[in-house]
Amino acid sequence: MRAVRGLAALAAAAGVAAGLALTGAHARPALPPAVADRVVGAMPPAATVEFDLVLRLQRQKLDRYLSGLYDPDSPVYGHYVSPSTFGRRFGLPAAALAVLGDRVRAAGFRVVARYPEHTSLRVRGTAAAVRRAFGVTLEDAVTAAGHGYHAPDRAPVVPRSLALWIDAVGGLDTRPAESPDYLPDGALRPFDATSAYDVSPLYQRSAGSNDGHGQSIAVLSIDRYSQAHLDAFSHTFQFASAPKVRPVVVGPADFSDSKEADLDLEVIRSIAPKAQILDYQLGFAELPDAINRVVQQGKVSIVSASFGACDATTLDQRFGAHALDSGFREDVENALLAAAAKGVSFFVSSGDAGAYECQRSHAADSNLTVSFPADAPYAVAVGGTVLSVGSDGSYQGETAWGDLLSNEGGGGGVDPYDPQPSWQRGRTVVGVSSGLRQVPDVSAAAGGGSPWWVFDGAGTKGWDKVWGTSASAPFWAASMLLVQQYMEQHHAGPVCFASPLLYAIGSLGWKYPPFHDVVSGTNRHYLAGPGWDLATGLGSPDVYNLATAAVAYRAKHPLPSGNNACKSQTG
């Protein structure tokens, strides 16, 4: 990879941007606030809060459906369902929801949002009502960085009067995501990425001019983006007539200027320059709400998210790490499951601390850990590599990203809680795989040796080099948007939930391989090697070959022609 020195050569040189996989600590309520946090005191009894009641799903019926949805030999293969059909078939019946609504109101809460998937109810009530209903005291606290939040003093207990319909309570802890780490120096222009990863052929008229026109893609942002920064980036790299970003406010963003959103949007613009981008703005606590809104609104089928929290266990709690609030975890996973049943793909960064995600916030924690929600079974976890590019943009090779000196690397390892999804079975590492979900699924350039140029109004004349899996996640999301566009032109699309398709393609032999199999390097613990591995997953894409392989695969395993809710839409 060519090194870039200074911005005078920006238009003619390759820049590396360090992606920011945010390590937001979202604590299990039974634990005290983080060591550096300060408890201010109990919330006033009359103060109002919003949170989720996680609804019971018909698990056995749902599991039978999901086991066949991605199996070409199943009679329900490809029969994706709309959010309302999902709720009707697998959620609480209307009569039960009516009774629950009455009991929720009797307990002092007002329902402020319902979702057709029937995965949760968003409710609002006072701190006093929360204490009466769930046996917890909400406490106000402040992080070391000065961000205020509230959290329960213990784990909430669902009362018997509601337990028939409610699995858990989520979102009472509004601890913000932690400030992202900037992984300084290195660098990639749009040309380098599109050349090395073989995106450019899709832009050609002979291939259908697949540049994202007529397609929409979403980004979940826990900080605020700058349209002016994106415009400056687009002007520099001559992305003419690109659509303006459409903001969708879900909740207050955790940050106002972390550069994360600029990175996400500019990487997507680099790969899919004509796509309409919808930026869903939220705090980490609103993640289930944001996922449900994306699915309910039905404007996109591909989403990028570049943040997460270490998926801590009791081993990590000894070092001050926070296990995720179990209700919040279930809330997020149910929302992602319903999204996958609709055919929506969430590409999520796998973290920037290699195999030790909790170590980013708790330096003494040397336990092997992964990042949530990337490790959720129905997310597509995107890891990181170090990419080498020739002076003409040609692909010169990749290694797994792992830097022992800086404690950086592409997130990868084993989810401590969730079983391995069906499409990942058979992908094992001797002595490590244990029937649990493994990450990452795929990878791309994210390491400090191959960053990305980002215009953020700071740095040198407004430009910074940024890296991390917060770059590889939007890269993969935008690449799959172009793959989808190509598939639709060849009557093979849309992508639908991407993981089963990617693993199916990755299990076959191809004359023109759709993946770069990364066989060297480590993510600070797990080694890259032939085939799928815990450092880089299936590897990085040859995007044009992936598009043609997807068309060939779907020609042999076509989706059903009627009543298919999985479709891409313009926003």
In a domain, 292, yes or no: yes
Please give the pLDDT value at position 461.
Answer: 85
Please give the pLDDT value at position 312.
Answer: 92
In a domain, 150, yes or no: no
In a domain, 524, yes or no: yes
In a domain, 542, yes or no: yes
In a domain, 354, yes or no: yes
Query: Could you write out the DSSP letters of every residue in 488-518?
Result: HHTT-----SHHHHHHHHHTS--SS-SEE--
Please give the pLDDT value at position 524.
Answer: 97
Please give the pLDDT value at position 337.
Answer: 97
Q: Is 419 helix (H, G, I), strand (E, B) or coil?
A: strand
In a domain, 225, yes or no: yes
Which domain range does residue 240 map to? 10-20+179-424+434-488+514-556
Question: In what helix (H) or strand (E) does residue 168 lie, and over which residues does it extend?
Answer: strand 166-170
Q: Which amino acid is at 90?
A: F
**CA nearest neighbour of 409 among 370, 364, 456:** 370
CA distances from 17 to 7, 20, 186, 312, 454 (A): 13, 9, 7, 28, 6
How many structural domains does the chain have? 1
Contacts of 297 (CB under 8 A, 6+ apart): 248
Residue 225 is part of a domain; what is its CATH number? 3.40.50.200
In a domain, 452, yes or no: yes
Q: Going residue by residue through the chain (571 aa), what tens digit of pLDDT does each one get?
A: 222 222 222 332 222 223 333 332 222 223 334 446 789 999 999 999 999 999 999 999 999 999 999 999 999 999 999 999 999 999 999 999 999 999 999 999 999 999 999 999 999 999 999 999 999 999 999 887 778 899 999 999 999 999 999 999 999 999 887 544 333 334 799 999 999 999 999 999 998 899 999 999 999 999 889 999 999 999 999 997 889 999 999 998 877 766 888 999 999 999 999 999 999 999 999 999 999 999 999 999 999 999 999 999 999 988 888 788 899 999 999 999 999 999 999 999 999 999 999 998 888 999 999 999 999 999 999 999 999 998 888 999 999 999 988 899 999 999 999 999 999 998 988 889 889 999 999 999 999 899 999 998 887 788 999 999 999 999 999 999 999 999 999 999 899 999 999 999 999 999 999 999 999 999 999 999 999 999 999 999 999 999 999 999 999 999 987 656 576 543 3
Q: Cis omega before residue 440 (within 30°)?
A: yes
Q: pTM, whole model, 2 decimals?
A: 0.91
| C-alpha span between 480 and 494 (Å, rounded) | 10
Q: Are 187 and 451 a contacting pair, CB within 8 Å?
A: yes
Locate 521 and state its tokens: 């390097």
| C-alpha span between 278 and 299 (Å, rounded) | 9
| C-alpha span between 478 and 212 (Å, rounded) | 8
**CA nearest neighbour of 295 among 120, 135, 441, 158:** 120
In a domain, 29, yes or no: no
Residue with tokens 């903001």: 247
SS3 string, 212-230, reads CCCCEEEEEECCCCCHHHH
Please give the pLDDT value at position 31.
Answer: 33
